[in-house]
Structure 1
Amino acid sequence: MRSLDDQGPSNLLKKTLETIVGIDNIITDREELSPYGKDIYYEKLPPIAVVTPSSNEQITKIVKEINNDGANLSVRGGGLSYSGGYLTDKKNSVMLNMQKFNKILEINKEDMYVRVESGVTWNQLNIALEPLGLRTPFWGTGSGLYATVGGGASQNAINYGSGRYGTLGESIIGLRLILASGEELRTGSWSTTQNPAPFNRYYGPDLTGLFIGDNGALAIKTEICLQLIPRPTHTNYIAYSFGSRSEFVKSASEIGRLGIISECFGLDPFFLSERITSTGFADDIDKLLNVAKNQQTVFKGIKEAFSVAVAGRRYAANVGYTLHMTVDGRNQTEVDSAEEDINKICNNYAGKPIKASISRIMRGTPFPPPAMMLGPKGDRWVPMHGIVPHSLHETILENVDTYMNANKEAIDEHDLVWGQVSNLIGHSRVLVEINLYWKDKRTDMIESYLSNEFLEKKDIFTENPDAYRAVGKLRSGLAGLFRELGGTHLQIGRSYPFLESRMTSAQTLLKAIKFQIDPSNNVNPGALKL
C-alpha cells in the first residue's frame, strides 16, 4: 500500500514529491517504510518518505524541494550496508531509492570505459560485459546481486579483482553528481566544457576522489564511469593450509607484493566453519574436510578446531589458517607461471596444498543471494574491519585475539561467535575483518532479501538487546585497535572513527568542503561525522 498521510508537518513536502516522481514511486506508509530505517546491523528512525526517481531532472527538483522544506536527504543503493551510512536519527528525512537508476548507458570498447547509472548492480554489469570479453578491474562485491555501483562508490569496496587492482575507487575514472544546491557536477576529463568524455580521471586536483567513500555526505551520485580491461580467459584456483599464523601472514604478504593474485581470502577455521554452513559452500563440516588432498595430516588441526567451533569456543589462536586464491590471465602459461610463484612462497612457509573448492565456488556463483546476513542457525551477523599495511597484519591479528580473549566473559555470557578473514588489497594492504554472530530476532530488512524457503530452515530467536549491546561494545573496541595502528576503513558511515581521527588541518578542510557544498547540511547529515 502506498498512501500519503494527511497528518503531520511534512504533508506538503510529501505531496510535492509525489508530483515530481508519481504516486507509484513514493512510499509513505509506515509499515512499508520500516525496513528503510534499518541496515544489516543498525536500526534508526525510518524516513518520512522513500522516493524512487528515474532521472537527473527529478533528483534536481527533489533536492530543491528538500532545501525549501528544511528536511534532510539520504541515498540508498542496494541497502546491504552495516555501518549506518544511509540511516538517520533525524525526524524529517527523505530517502532516495536509486533502484530505477539502473541503465548501462555506454560501453566504450575503443576508449575502454563503461558508463552506468548508479543503481546498476554488479551482477547486471558483469552480465552485460561478459559476452563482449570485457570487465572492470574491480568487478564487484559478494553482495553484488543487490549491491550497486553507486553504493560501492559511496562506501568504497573490495572483493573481486582487489588482490591485483585494489579498491573499487581505483577503477573509477569519473562521476556525475547532483550537489545539495541541485547543481550538476562532472569530474575528471568529463568536466570540460568542450567535448566532455570520461576517459581520464586526473586533470588537476582529483575531484573524483573527493566523492569516493564519502558515504553520500557530499553529493548524490547519478552516474559512474569505470575503466575496462580485457576479460581474462584463463583462471587457476589455489588453496593452502598453514600450521601457524606467522607462516600464514608471511605467505599472504609475499604473494600480495607480487601483484599477481586476483583474489586472496585468508580464513581462520572458526570463520570458515560458520561461513561454510551458512552460505552453502558445503552441506556440513565433514563435506568441507573432504576437500583436503591429504586429510589426515593437513587437516588434523583444523578438524580439531572445527570441533571446538561447533561447541561454541571461538577464541583459540594458531589453528589452521587457510589461503584461498584466484589467479587470472590471458593464457594458461601466464596463470601457470603465477601459480608456480605462489606455490614456491607457500611451500617456503610450510604450507600444505588443499583443494581450492571455496574460490571455485565463489567464482562459479560470484553474486549469490545474501545468505551471509544470517549464521548457520539463523543468528544475526555483522562484520567489523580495518585496513593495515603488510607489516602490521600479524600485529592486528594478535591484538584482536588479545582483545577478544579479554572479553571472554561477555562472549560466553551472550553465546557470541566470532572469526577473522584477511583479504589482500593491491600490492601493499590487507583488510582484516572480524565477523560477529549472536542470537537475536532478525529484522524485516534482513528478511526482505531472503527467500521464505531459506528462512524456514533457520531458527527464530527472540529480541536480545543485551547481546546486541555486547556486540556493539566489541565492535567499538575493535575499531579502536585499528585506530591505534593507524588503520583505515571502508564503508565508514556512522560506525568507524573518521573525522575525529584526522589531524586538525584535515578536519578543518573536510568541514569547509562540506559547508561549501552543502551549507545547510541537508545531504546525509552525520555521515563521516560531518
Structure 2
Amino acid sequence: MKSKEIINQLCDVVGSDAVITDVKEREYFSMDVFDIDQVAEIVIQPRSKDQISSILKVLSETDYQIIPRGGGMSYTGGYTPSTERSVIIDTSLLNQIIEINSDDMYITVEAGCTWKKIYEALKPLGLRLPFFGTNSGSMATVGGGLSNGALFFGTGQYGSAADNVLGMEIIIADGTLIKTGQNAFANAKPHHRTYGPDTTGLFCHDAGSLGIKVQATFPLIYWPNSVGYLSFSYRSLEDAVAALSSISKSGLTEECYVLDPKSAGSLTDVSNVEGAKSVLKVLREQSSFIRGLKESVKMAFTGRNVIPENSYSLHMVISNHSQNALRFDIKEAEVIAEKYNGESIPNSIPKATRADPFPPMNGILGHAGERWAALNAKVPHTSALIVNQQIIRLMDQYKERMDACGVWYTLLNIGIQQHSYSIEPVLRWLDEWPELHKRTAEPSFLSTFEEPSPNIEARELVHEIRKEIIGYFASIGAASNQIGRAYDYMGYLYKPSKELLINIKNNLDPKNKMNSGALGISEHFWNHHRKTD
C-alpha cells in the first residue's frame, strides 16, 4: 500500500489536521531528550481510544512500524524510530480525567494525562496519588511513566508508578482493546489489581513494546496533615550512601535522595525568577501566613548556598497524620542521619521541590544551558556504595577526554521504598539545542543563555561513556527504568523467561510492529527468535 493511500485512510479516521507530514514537525516528534535516529514518515494525533484502535487496524495491513509517544521526555530512545517507515502515535491529546471516585478512593485517567494535571485536580479535594509523579511531570504523561518506570515524588514510601497502578486499558497491534485489573470483569469497578494473574504488571515497564496504553486507574490517598523536611550534608560519599540507605530502609520518608557536590551548582537560586516562584509557592503551602513568611525569608537568605562546598547532601520529605507523630518521625530520621556524621543544613531544597513539584520543564537544560542524559541502576542496598565508586572510577578513566571536549557528570541517589536503591549518573555537555529543547523550555529561560555551538565530539563521547556504563549495569544484574532502546534487556534475560516474553510478544504483536527495537526486540532479534506456526 502506498504512503499517500495510507495517509488518506488515516485522515479519514482522525481528520487531516491530526495527521502530520511536515518534515520539521516529524523531526521534532522523532527526537528524544538525548538523541534522534530516523525521522518517522507520519505523525498522528488521535483524541480517543476508538481512534487509536482504528489507526492500528489500518496500520496492521501495512509494513509501517508503530511507535507510541507520550510527553516526549525519554532520554533512552524510548520512541525514536529505527526506520523512516514508521508512524508515531502522539497520545498527548488523550489527556482527560475520566473519574475521581473519592468514596472508593481511585482515579481513572487517559494515558496522555500529565502527572501535573492529576495533582492539580486532586489537591483541592485533599487527595493525591501515593506515587504522584516525576520531576518532569508538567509534561511527562501517565502512559509514558507506566511504560518506563517513573520515579520520584512519593517513591521513598510507595515506589514507582508501576507499583501503584490498579489497572489499564491497552490497545495492541491489531487494534484490539485489552483491559487489566478488576476493570476487565463485567459489572466491576476498577478498584483492585490482582484478581487472578497480574496482567497489569505485564504491561508495566514494557517501553511501549506490547501495546499503546490509553487509560489507567490509580489508588488515592488523603493528603497527610503534617509534612516535614530535613537536609544534611556529608563530607564523604561513604557516609552519604550509608545514611541514605539507612533512612530508606527505615520507611520514614516519602522521598529521600542524595545530591553529589557538583549537583549543588545546578540548583535554582532564589535570586532569579524561578527561585522567586519557589518562595511564593512555599508561602502558599504553609498553613499559617506568618510561618510561611518566615520560611520564605529563610529560603531567600539561604538560596542555593545551603550545601557546604564539596559536600554530598541528603534531603528528606517526611509525612504523618499528626504533628506529634511527625515530630517523632523527624527525630528518628535525625538520629539516623547524624549517626553517619551528617550535619544539619537548611531544608530549602526538599521544601521548594515539594512546594512547586511540577514547574515548567526548563530543566530539560542544565543550569549552564547544557544538555544532559541520565542513566539508572536500581541495586540492593549492599551494592550501593560499590556501584557509586565504580561509576566514579569509570568517569575518571575518561577524565582527560571529558575535559578536552567539555563533558562532566553529576550523581543522584534515591531510596525506593525499603528494598531498593537507585543510582543515576547524569552526563552533561555544552552543545547546540535540539528543537525539542527549544520548544520545551520557556523563552524567558532560554534567553538567559547564548546557545552553544555544535559539539559533535562531546556528543560522541557521551554515547561511548553511556554504552560502557550500561554494560557495567548489565554485568551486575542491575534493574533500570527507561529501558527504551538503550539497555539490552533481552540480551541478559534468563533464557526461559526470555522465551516466555517472546511467546507473549508473539501473541500480542506477531509482526513486531509495536515500537520495534524497544526492550532489545529489534527486527533482527525478532526474525531470529519469533515463534512461527
TM-score by length of 2: 0.90
Between the aligned partners of 1:276 and 1:430, the Cα distance in structure 2 is 26
Between the aligned partners of 2:375 and 2:149, the Cα distance in structure 1 is 15
Maintained 8 Å contact 2:148/2:481: yes
Residue 302 of structure 2 aligns with which residue?
Answer: 291
Between the aligned partners of 2:262 and 2:437, the Cα distance in structure 1 is 24
Given candidates 379, 391, 396, the residue that maps to 2:387 is 396
1:14 aligns with 2:14: no
Deviations 1:366-396 (A, max 9, x none): 0011222212232111111111111111111
Residue 531 of structure 2 aligns with which residue?
Answer: none
Unaligned 5+ segments in structure 2 are 278-297, 522-533
Given candidates 363, 370, 384, the residue that maps to 1:372 is 363
Question: CA distance change for structure 1 residues 126 and 52 in 2, over 3 Å: closer, same or farther?
Answer: same
Residue 217 of structure 1 aligns with which residue?
Answer: 209
Residue 311 of structure 1 aligns with which residue?
Answer: none
Deviations 1:65-118 (A, max 9, x none): 101122111111111110111111212111111122111111111221110000
Unaligned 5+ segments in structure 1 are 1-7, 306-319
Q: Secondary structure at the match of 2:33?
A: coil
- 1:498-513 to 2 correspondences below 5 Å: 498-513=489-504
The structural deviation recorded for 1:502 is 0.7
Residue 517 of structure 1 aligns with which residue?
Answer: 508
Q: Secondary structure at the match of 1:412?
A: helix
Maintained 8 Å contact 2:364/2:441: no
1:464 aligns with 2:451: no
Deviations 1:402-433 (A, max 9, x none): 11111112111112111101011100111111
Between the aligned partners of 1:359 and 1:323, the Cα distance in structure 2 is 10
The structural deviation recorded for 1:275 is 3.8
The structural deviation recorded for 1:504 is 1.2
Maintained 8 Å contact 1:372/1:381: no
Residue 348 of structure 1 aligns with which residue?
Answer: 339
The structural deviation recorded for 1:289 is 12
Q: Secondary structure at the match of 2:60?
A: helix
Amino acid across the alignment from 1:238: L
Residue 138 of structure 2 aligns with which residue?
Answer: 145
Deviations 1:247-304 (A, max 9, x none): 2112111111111101112011112213446995599xxx9996399x9xx96xx42x
Q: Secondary structure at the match of 1:45?
A: coil
Residue 51 of structure 2 aligns with which residue?
Answer: 58
Residue 163 of structure 1 aligns with which residue?
Answer: 156
Q: Secondary structure at the match of 1:50?
A: strand
The structural deviation recorded for 1:520 is 1.1
Residue 443 of structure 1 aligns with which residue?
Answer: 434
Between the aligned partners of 1:56 and 1:244, the Cα distance in structure 2 is 51
Amino acid across the alignment from 1:291: T
Amino acid across the alignment from 2:361: P
Residue 476 of structure 2 aligns with which residue?
Answer: 485
1:262 aligns with 2:273: no
Given candidates 191, 195, 207, the residue that maps to 2:184 is 191
The structural deviation recorded for 1:363 is 0.8
Maintained 8 Å contact 2:303/2:348: no
Maintained 8 Å contact 1:292/1:355: no
Question: CA distance change for structure 1 residues 529 and 372 in 2, over 3 Å: closer, same or farther?
Answer: same
Residue 316 of structure 1 aligns with which residue?
Answer: none
Maintained 8 Å contact 1:139/1:161: yes
Between the aligned partners of 2:471 and 2:312, the Cα distance in structure 1 is 25
Maintained 8 Å contact 1:179/1:518: yes
- 1:324-335 to 2 correspondences below 5 Å: 324-335=315-326
Q: Secondary structure at the match of 1:44?
A: coil
Given candidates 47, 52, 74, the residue that maps to 2:67 is 74
For this pair of structures, how many residues does the alignment match? 499
Amino acid across the alignment from 2:41: I
Residue 313 of structure 2 aligns with which residue?
Answer: 322
Residue 24 of structure 1 aligns with which residue?
Answer: 17
When structure 1 is superposed on structure 2, of 268-277 and 169-178 the one drifting more is 268-277
Between the aligned partners of 1:387 and 1:502, the Cα distance in structure 2 is 16
- Identity score, percent: 33
Amino acid across the alignment from 1:235: V
Maintained 8 Å contact 2:487/2:520: no
Question: CA distance change for structure 1 residues 427 and 417 in 2, over 3 Å: closer, same or farther?
Answer: same
Between the aligned partners of 1:378 and 1:475, the Cα distance in structure 2 is 21
The structural deviation recorded for 1:188 is 1.7
Q: Secondary structure at the match of 1:100?
A: coil
The structural deviation recorded for 1:12 is 0.7
Maintained 8 Å contact 1:160/1:263: yes
The structural deviation recorded for 1:178 is 0.8
Maintained 8 Å contact 1:188/1:201: yes
The structural deviation recorded for 1:462 is 2.0
Between the aligned partners of 1:442 and 1:279, the Cα distance in structure 2 is 22
Q: CA RMSD in A?
A: 2.1
Between the aligned partners of 2:17 and 2:178, the Cα distance in structure 1 is 29
Residue 239 of structure 1 aligns with which residue?
Answer: 231
Between the aligned partners of 1:464 and 1:243, the Cα distance in structure 2 is 34
